[in-house]
A and B are shown apart, each in its own frame.
Chain A
Amino acid sequence: MTRFILKRLGSGLVVLFAVSALTFFLLYIASGSIARNILGDQASPEQVALKEAELGLDQPILARYISWLSNAAGGNFGSSWFSSEPVANSLATRIPVTMTMVITAMILIAIIATLIGGAAAVRRGWVDRIVQVGAIVGDSVPGFVIGIILVTILAIQLGLFPATSTISPDAPANAWALSMTLPVIALLINGVTGGAQQIRSAVIKQLERDYVRTLRSRGIGEREILFKHVLRSAAPAGLTVLSLQLIGMLGGVVIIEQIFALPGLGPLAVAATGQSDLPVVMGVVMYTVVVVIVVNLLVDLLNGWLNPKVRAS
């Protein structure tokens, strides 16, 4: 197992390095005159040259990348070119907002999708049909549209929730919970419907297997069969879907955070990319890649723990 983890971590590092190089050089090609963008349209050529020297933009691109890489390897991601705020600080204040939302949504997706998907597979009939139709509707409506509908009805018309975030350090816990509720719902709808569909298929497949028939013939109760055997065997499929959803959610959360004015990674990524604020973009990209690598690793480990056959292979 240790060998497996080390191997995965090694390949993760290679991915991290490749993505960093690719992002850095692509941003360089697309970014134009950053110094002029920072200084605005009134800036003189001398001012622009001064700013370029200050930011090290007068160095060759390869030298800049090597310098960035050696600093990043030591944990120093530099400071934003536009605000001078250290990238580490920006990430540290924003990651909790985004991850609270994403993790809450993932936990709820796991629970609700398992319940709904499981119910559809076991009961079939009308429950199954409702889940099937719901999956199509849920998958086809983008999260941000759901977000806008939720805000209009629950926040503006009924006044049950704040229309945009009220998150601040001195806000009470329930204000946090309130601010997070609508974004989390908007974020999880697609995941729940997609996840339920996958779990339904996986459970149906397991229920048709011989071992279920054998267990039934031994007089073991349906509930035990389902929870102890079927769901466990169906778990790898569900976990893979969940991990893919989490990775996809890191993209979807950008729009949701904009609509609800949540100070998470999304608005930071959008603003930094628009301005070609390279240190910030690199920080966000590196963080996201690390999350993806870690999630994939965790899913593999969980699959192994849940299903010994996977471990053996």
Chain B
Amino acid sequence: MKLGPKAVATAITVSAALALTACGGNANSGNANSGAGAPAATALTLGTIQDVRSWDPAQAHVGHVLQPYQAAYDSLVLREPDGKLSPMLATAWKYNATDTVLTVDLRTDVTFSDGAKFDAEAAKANLDHFKNANGPQMAQLGAVSEVKVVDADTIDLSLTAPDPSLEFYLSQAAGLMGSPKALGTEGIKTEPVGSGPYVMDKASTVKDSQTVFTAREGYWNKDLQKFSKLTLKILADPTARTNALVSGQIDATLLDPKTGKQAEGAKMKLASNQVDWQGLLLFDRDGAKNPALKDVRVRQAINYAFDRKTILDQVMLGQGTPTSQPFGKESGAWVEELENKYSYDPAKAKALLKEAGYESGLTLEVPAIPMFETQISVVKQQLADIGITLNLGAALTNTFTSDIAAQKFNAMYFSLFQGEPWVAINQIVSTKALYNPFKNAPTELQAKIDAVQTGGTDAAKLAQEVNKYVVDQAWFAPLFRVNQMYFHNTKVTVAPQIQQAVPSIYNYSPAK
């Protein structure tokens, strides 16, 4: 009978030993910024949502995933936090009279981390590689038919048709410049070779866990190189990101309204920004599969059915702005009068349905999409109030994009990016857009789209007409623009980047 107390004693000893080992080693737990009272951060540690698929710049993605590439690769054009396009590796760029040739002047004092020189040949090699490598953003150079070297520091990009987004794309994936010696090799897939402010520390980097960069010696633009070390810690789980931020393991990360509350409680600072809109996309505007959707009054009735402010407050904890338009505030296509075009008015909605001959109601089907269960159930409830039955169809699967393209859904609830007007038009409005699967193209609208395409510097303003048309015709039923909750500690200053949930790498600096 002596075993009992001994077992208990042993268990206690084991636990105590574990705890003591833990305490003893805490000083080396690995956070580069853990020094209390440090005046300013010389190392920046960011929590990111996923690792890059490949470091080949032609495989670069946009949105959340562009940031890591910016550490290693300079782009031709620099996009300022407010969206203004500034020189970077390109010093100047200009279109010809018909907007079909873009002449780009390049820097001559830049080298890549493997010693190769940046020049017109290198820029051409990159743009050609991007066009041929079949990467996820290949469409960014879809309009470019040829890249020609004019002289050592000038290239011409010939276009098949004007592309008002091209300069923007040159600040994104298409503009990233890798060493011409490394392009197309196996090595560049796992270790970037660019001219950017940082170089990868391969020894400390673990795929899907952390990527470590150190400042590159002799970098040509010291203003963009604000830290001696940069660590991107991959934290897919929002709880993990919150814990890492609150406990000081990382300096900044993207959270959501719910986890943001915890970060606020821990005195983290918020760099908020509106990037996406959420709402219904009413695809079948010609009534090919659901005849009711052909009637603009039905589509408008759907828009009048929603109490956007209450939905926003309850579902997103008020983090966003109710809206009736799908174009973003900073896009240039945004129109103030459209903001509350469809205010909550169930009586008017019912009257419109009656006028359209759907007094006895109609049925709408949307796919079930994980992440939006709450929103969809609220939408269902509010549509029921005006006599529309919302049926939940098959769940979203990996066949999502092909299902949309195959016109499997007449309508859906989704969250979409509010980008540059031409980017947004080609995402949700034009006949090329994935989110216009029924290829609705009224002549009146097509003329407005064409005007944007050939509008040159007026493109954004001309896109307001497209916006007005799709809102008047109720192509969508937007509910609200969502606040992106980017939190950071007081050691760093962060400037939000318009149209990006995660700021560009240049927007961080040590706090003063």
Of the residues B14, B134, B240, contact of A259 by C-beta under 8 Å? B240
Given known contacts A90-B207, A155-B247, A261-B240, is B402 in contact with A83 (CB within 8 Å)? no
For residue B512, CB closer than 8 A to chain A, the reply is no
Of the residues A37, A42, A93, A271, contact of B398 by C-beta under 8 Å? A37
Of the residues B31, B137, B237, contact of A258 by C-beta under 8 Å? B237
Cross-chain contact B19 with A30 (CB below 8 angstroms)? no
For residue B166, CB closer than 8 A to chain A, the reply is no
Output the nearest chain A residue to B210 by Cβ-Cβ distance: A168
Within 8 A of B (CB), among A131-171: 148, 151-152, 155-156, 159-171
For residue A43, CB closer than 8 A to chain B, the reply is yes
Stretch of A65-73, A110-118, A288-296 on the interface side: A110-118
Q: Which residues of A contact B247 (CB under 8 A)?
A: 155-156, 159, 162-163
Output the nearest chain B residue to A263 by Cβ-Cβ distance: B209
A40 and B240 alpha carbons, distance in the complex (Å): 27
Q: Mark A39-61, 1 if CB is under 8 A from B, else 0.
A: 11111100100110010000000
Q: Mark B44-67, 1 if CB is under 8 A from A, else 0.
A: 000000110110000001000000
Stretch of B1-9, B152-160, B354-362 on the interface side: B1-9
- Shortest CB-to-CB span from B23 to chain A, Å, is 6
Q: Which residues of B contact A166 (CB under 8 A)?
A: 29-31, 249
- Shortest CB-to-CB span from B2 to chain A, Å, is 7
Q: Which residues of A contact B203 (CB under 8 A)?
A: 169-170
- Shortest CB-to-CB span from A227 to chain B, Å, is 9
Given known contacts A38-B136, A116-B7, A258-B236, is B399 in contact with A33 (CB within 8 Å)? yes
A215 and B478 alpha carbons, distance in the complex (Å): 81
For residue A276, CB closer than 8 A to chain B, the reply is yes
Output the nearest chain B residue to A128 by Cβ-Cβ distance: B4
Output the nearest chain B residue to A170 by Cβ-Cβ distance: B204
Q: Which residues of B contact A119 (CB under 8 A)?
A: 3-4, 7-8
Cross-chain contact B25 with A174 (CB below 8 angstroms)? yes
Within 8 A of A (CB), among B364-398: 397-398
Cross-chain contact A36 with B402 (CB below 8 angstroms)? yes
For residue B18, CB closer than 8 A to chain A, the reply is yes
Of the residues A261, A274, A275, contact of B237 by C-beta under 8 Å? A261
- Shortest CB-to-CB span from A158 to chain B, Å, is 10
Cross-chain contact A32 with B399 (CB below 8 angstroms)? yes
Q: Which residue, A33, A156, A168, has most C-beta atoms of chain B within 10 A?
A: A168
Cross-chain contact B208 with A162 (CB below 8 angstroms)? no
Of the residues B1, B26, B240, contact of A123 by C-beta under 8 Å? B1
Cross-chain contact B14 with A112 (CB below 8 angstroms)? yes
- Residue tally, chain B, CB below 8 Å to A: 67
Cross-chain contact A160 with B26 (CB below 8 angstroms)? yes
- Give the tally of cross-chain contacts (CB within 8 A): 194
Q: Which residues of B contact A168 (CB under 8 A)?
A: 30, 204-206, 209-210, 212
A38 and B53 alpha carbons, distance in the complex (Å): 10
Within 8 A of B (CB), among A1-51: 30-34, 36-44, 47, 50-51
For residue A99, CB closer than 8 A to chain B, the reply is no
Q: Which residue, A226, A263, A270, has most C-beta atoms of chain B within 10 A?
A: A263
Of the residues A31, A84, A262, contact of B189 by C-beta under 8 Å? A84
- Residue tally, chain A, CB below 8 Å to B: 74
Q: Which residue, A37, A159, A166, has most C-beta atoms of chain B within 10 A?
A: A166
Given known contacts A38-B136, A222-B1, is B249 in contact with A162 (CB within 8 Å)? yes
Q: Which residues of B contact A172 (CB under 8 A)?
A: 25, 28
- Shortest CB-to-CB span from B281 to chain A, Å, is 13
Q: Which residues of A contact B24 (CB under 8 A)?
A: 174
Q: Which residues of A contact B210 (CB under 8 A)?
A: 168
Cross-chain contact B244 with A112 (CB below 8 angstroms)? no
Cross-chain contact A178 with B209 (CB below 8 angstroms)? no
Q: Mark A250-280, 1 if CB is under 8 A from B, else 0.
A: 0000000011111100011011001110000
Cross-chain contact B22 with A39 (CB below 8 angstroms)? no
Cross-chain contact B30 with A118 (CB below 8 angstroms)? no
A37 and B247 alpha carbons, distance in the complex (Å): 36
A188 and B233 alpha carbons, distance in the complex (Å): 26
For residue B400, CB closer than 8 A to chain A, the reply is yes
Q: Mark A214-229, 1 if CB is under 8 A from B, else 0.
A: 0000000011001000
For residue B221, CB closer than 8 A to chain A, the reply is no
Output the nearest chain A residue to B142 by Cβ-Cβ distance: A44
- Shortest CB-to-CB span from B61 to chain A, Å, is 7
Output the nearest chain A residue to B406 by Cβ-Cβ distance: A33
17 sampled A-B residue pairs with Cβ under 8 A: A32-B403, A39-B134, A40-B61, A42-B434, A112-B11, A119-B3, A160-B22, A162-B29, A163-B243, A168-B30, A168-B206, A168-B210, A177-B25, A178-B25, A178-B29, A223-B2, A261-B235
